[in-house]
Amino acid sequence: MVNPLAGPDHQFAAWFHAHLTQTFVTVLRALCEPGSSEWIGVVLFFAVLFFVWKRWWPSLATLIVAVPGGMLLNELVKMLVHRPRPFVAGQFVDWSGYSFASGHTIGATLLYGQLALFIVPSIKARHWRTLTVAGAILIVLLVGFSRIALGAHYLTDVLAGIVFGILWLALCLIAGKPMRRNRLPIPGNLLPDSGAVLVPIQQTGERAQSPLS
């Protein structure tokens, strides 16, 4: 079976490899850092501490399954596909491991995509919601671009990382719906799991109706 993207794959990789300079490599390595396992580990650590402190257990479970779980599945895909890197050695590159799919890209897609799913429902202003989503997308695209330009991955490796990440997040979102539905909101708190606010009970002579009734 012929890969229709085989031509663009090699053309992109060869063009960037021929135009790499020390300054360009420094910039690219900074751009791909938000998708590195070290960076993701640090962000996850503080996110887990925050969710434990807030006792947002459904959010904590979703985060752990979505991000580390998805990254582990990507490593399995790498072992099954066994695709070599575009370049394994050179003046500015020295890569090991396999190429498909891009671990940095899927890690960024999972982490910032999941954080956006947590944050966006609690933002009231439409422009801030748009900026949050756009920011997450921009980070993912910059990480993916940097990995292609550095010669660590082909274009299809990066595209596959984005697609796999989106599909895994969608699966986690669907699978976590029953858990979020069964959890009642805490009065006065906005929960990222439910996206709902409990309306305060008015001080009247009549008994106020619960928003859940």
**Active-site residue set:** 104, 153
CB-side exposure of 6: number of CA atoms within 13 Å?
5
Radius of gyration over alpha carbons of the chain, in Å? 21
The rounded distance, in Å, linking the Cα atoms of 187 and 157 is: 46
Burial class of 180 by CB neighbour count within 10 A (0 to 12, 13 to 18, 19+): middle
The rounded distance, in Å, linking the Cα atoms of 129 and 119 is: 8
The DSSP letter of residue 100 is: S
Cα dihedral 179/184/187/190 (nearest 10): 30
Contact of 19 with 34, CB cutoff 8 Å: no
Residue type, 75: E
